[in-house]
Amino acid sequence: MKNEIAVIKPGSIAEEMEIEIGDCLISINGEPVKDIIDYKYLICDEYVTVEIQKKNGEIWELEIEKEYDEDLGVQFKDAILDKPQSCHNKCIFCFIDQLPKGMRETLYFKDDDSRLAFLQGNFVTLTNMSEDDIDRIIKYRISPINVSVHTTNPELRIKMLNNRFAGNVYDRLKRMTSAGIEINCQIVLCPGINDGIELEKTIEDLYKLYPTVENLAVVPVGVTKFREGLHKLDLYSKETAERQLDIVAKLQQKYIKEIGSPFVRMSDEFYVVAQGEIPSTDFYNGFKQLEDGVGVIRLFRNNIKDSVSDLKENIKGSFTMVTGELAYNEIVNAADIIMKANSKIKIDVIKIINNFFGETITVAGLITGSDIIEQLKNKEIGKHIIIPDCMLRKGYELAADTEKIFLDDITVEGLGKALNREILVCDYTGEDLISIINKHHEEV
């Protein structure tokens, strides 16, 4: 049933009011609960009347006095209490269109849902939203919202998204920011299409909406080997990546003088491809754009430097760390730092070539379990294999307690059995790497 309750948190209001798993939430203060956004905002008041349908069909009306912003302490069977809104764009750079056949059905679903943008940080294009949807965002103060802009040039955006309604994004951004809705923006940069002069114009347009548009991330397009029949896209080379970094650096210097922040930041991949210097910690302003791959390398270096002194001296152990081509040198450097701190710790770093999606995909987050198995099965490997958690699928279709799983449906447990090793999952920023090594060791 719609709005079915799947979890009751211990000590919660729901437990106290004898709400049970399998009960359904009907309304709050007489207002039907359409989805999770309704729930989160209707439940905020200090005095609420909640209508619950019990499993036997009986209707309970509960009057509840609570703290402002305190919720019932429940989790619902469906995360957003509704079917997620699908995307009607046909973006020339869409990664889902580049997936091979035969994968898990949910991987082919294109969401473009503002509720997931608010709850899980997903990016939306705003093209699949009605004016009523925009009104609802403003009414409920759904903020921040993450928006994939790509370009503020209306004609170009229509072409890039293959959607005749895509050209009004800047007007919609202005409307929401005028109402105080905070927005984080993203640009997927495609060589020769929305970079260069077009990129400069888009950044300048979005900067006019600062500070309600606080951050802008620029990431390079990902190109798999499954692009037959799709728009031809190039990859960034050292020279073309340098060119984009130079364009953006001039704007960043101007913005730092004006607001004390660079406003726009390029993902780490641009710096690695261009063989450039990674910016300092201060540049990343608290690392708010890590999900876009912005500042991950700098934070990883910081975490290793700050935590290596916690490495125990009276331990030994052998570990194999796996990563993609993009982060390989960085992981090797981290392993060297750890082994210098304790020579009894042995760490091998193995670069996994992405045969599943194609060698043009170099990020660790798109490595599959099958590629790890195939490329490690005939190698000498450590007693423990360490993988970053970004390799594991996250999404609205996976419940919180779902088994950890790679994009190709191989589980962490399955990987361990195939390689006859214990698999250790590490935060992709390396925050818990030293503690993992300390925990899974042998006494000297």
Buried-exposed string 380-415: b where 16+ CB fall within 10 A, e elsewhere:
ebbebbbbbbbbbbeebbeeeeeebbbbbebbbebb
The beta strands (E) that lie in 125-263 are given as: 145-148, 183-189, 213-220
Q: What is the pLDDT of residue 12?
A: 93
Domain annotation covers residue 311 = yes
Q: Which of 7-11, 41-45, 106-110, 393-397 shows the lowest per-residue confidence on average (mean pLDDT)?
A: 393-397
Instruction: Tokens for 41, please give them.
Output: 């905002």
Q: Where does 106-237 show beta strands of DSSP type E? A: 145-148, 183-189, 213-220
How confident is the model at residue 417, as a pLDDT?
97
| 72 and 190 fall within a common domain | no
CB-hemisphere CA count at 13 Å for 413?
Answer: 3
Cα 11 to the center of its chain, rounded Å = 31
- Decide if 82 is inside a domain: no
Cβ atoms of 377 and 418 closer than 8 Å: yes
Amino acid at 144: P
Q: Are residues 64 and 194 in the same domain?
A: no
| Tally of structural domains, the chain | 3
**CATH code, domain carrying 372:** 3.40.50
Contact predicate 114/124, CB 8 Å: yes
Residue 17 sits in the same domain as residue 141? no
pLDDT beyond 80 at 88 = no
CATH number for the domain harbouring residue 196:
3.80.30.10
Confidence of residue 86 (pLDDT cuts 50, 70, 90): low
Distance from C-alpha of 331 to C-alpha of 427, rounded to nearest angstrom: 13
Residues 212 and 344 in one domain: no
Domain co-membership, 192 together with 105? yes
Task: Return the pLDDT at 111.
Answer: 56
Question: Among residues 259, 278, 294, which one ends one of the domains?
Answer: 294
Q: Is 238 a residue whose pLDDT tops 80?
A: yes
* Between 36 and 118, residue with greater pLDDT: 36
For residue 286, being part of any structural domain is answered with yes
Residues 220, 342, single domain; the answer is: no
Q: Which of 254, 270, 294 is the last residue of a domain?
A: 294
Is the pLDDT at 194 greater than 80? The verdict is yes
Report percent pLDDT > 90 for the chain: 73
User: Which pLDDT tens digit goes with each residue over 359-412?
Assistant: 999 999 999 999 999 999 999 999 999 999 999 976 444 444 456 899 999 999
Residue 117 in any domain: the answer is yes
Q: Are 225 and 366 in the same domain?
A: no
Residue 41 contacts residue 140 (beta carbons within 8 Å):
yes
Kindly state whether residues 285 and 307 are assigned to the same domain.
no
- Cα(31)–Cα(378) distance, integer angstroms: 61
pLDDT(84) > 80: no
Taking 3-state DSSP, the helix, strand and coil percentages for the chain, each rounded to the nearest 5, stand at: 35, 20, 45
With respect to residue 30, please indicate whether it lies within any of the assigned structural domains: yes
| pLDDT tens, residue by residue, 161-179 | 999 999 999 999 999 999 9
Say yes or no: 54 and 116 in one domain.
no
On whether both 191 and 339 belong to a single domain, the answer is no
pLDDT higher than 60, residue 82:
no
pLDDT level of residue 119 (50, 70, 90 thresholds): low
Q: Which two tokens stand for residue 11?
A: 């000590």
CATH number at residue 22: 2.30.42.60
Tokens encoding 329? 């040198």
Q: How far apart are CA 355 and CA 116, in angstroms?
A: 31
The answer to the question of residue 91 being in a domain is: no
Quote the domain boundaries for residue 197: 96-294
Whether residue 66 lies inside any domain: the answer is yes
Domain boundary among 277, 294, 311: 294
Distance CA 130, CA 340 (A): 58
Q: Rounded to the nearest 5°, which phi and psi values hold at 371?
A: -70, -40
Same domain for 358 and 434?
yes
**Residues 337, 330: Cα–Cα separation, whole Å:** 11
In a domain, 90, yes or no: no
Burial state string for 426-444 with b = 16 or more CB within 10 A and e = fewer than 16: bebbbbbbbebbeeebeee
44 and 163 belong to one structural domain? no
